[in-house]
Amino acid sequence: MSATQPAPDFSAPATSGQTLGLRDFRGRFLVLYFYPKDSTPGCTQEGQDFRDLHPEFQAANADILGVSRDGLKSHANFKCKQAFPFELLSDSDEALCQAFDVIRLKNMYGKQVRGIERSTFLIDPEGRIAFEWRKLSVKGHAAAVLAKLRELSA
C-alpha cells in the first residue's frame, strides 16, 4: 500500500454494537491502528496514548479506531478498563488484517506464529491512505500520528 491510494473498504463489528466501515468516516480523517492483543503492556500503552490525545485528534477532524483479532467481549472489557473514548473493531476472521496486509510470521518463545504487525494507517476524508506506519514502536507513536495529521491538514 502506498500513500494516496484508496484505503481498502471494510466493515467490522465494533464495541458500540454497530458494524462500522470506511464509509462511516467519509469527510473526516481516520486513524486506523492495528495492535496484537487486548490488555498486553504495549497494546495498553498504545491505546492509552491515543486516548490521552483523543481531544486533539477530534479537534483536527479525525476519528480513531483500534483493530485486533480479539473478540468483542475482550474488546469491551479492554475499552472499559482503559476508558478509551474510541471504538475497537473485532477482526476475528482476519479480513481487515488481510486487507491492510498486517499479518506477519513472528517469533514467540522460539516458535513461528502468525500475528498482527503493529501498524497504523491515516486515511484522508476522501478514503485514501494519506500515510502509514509499520513495524512501529509504541513510544511517541500517537504523538507522531497527530503531528502528521496536523501537517496534512495545514
Q: Check residue 106 and give its pLDDT.
A: 75
- For residue 130, give the CATH number of its domain: 3.40.30.10
Q: Give the span between the Cα atoms of 100 and 97, in whole angstroms.
A: 5
Domain that holds residue 47: 25-153
Residue 101 lies in a domain: yes
**Does 2 score more than 90 pLDDT?**
no
pLDDT tens string 95-122 = 999 999 999 877 767 888 788 999 999 9
Partners of 111 in the β-ladder = 108
Grid coordinates representing 93 are 476472521
Residue 17 lies in a domain: no
Q: Give the span between the Cα atoms of 19 and 121, in whole angstroms.
A: 19
Residue 147 lies in a domain: yes
Total domains in the chain come to 1
The residues annotated with a catalytic role in the active site are: 43
pLDDT tens string 28-79 = 999 999 999 999 999 999 999 999 999 999 999 999 999 999 999 999 999 9
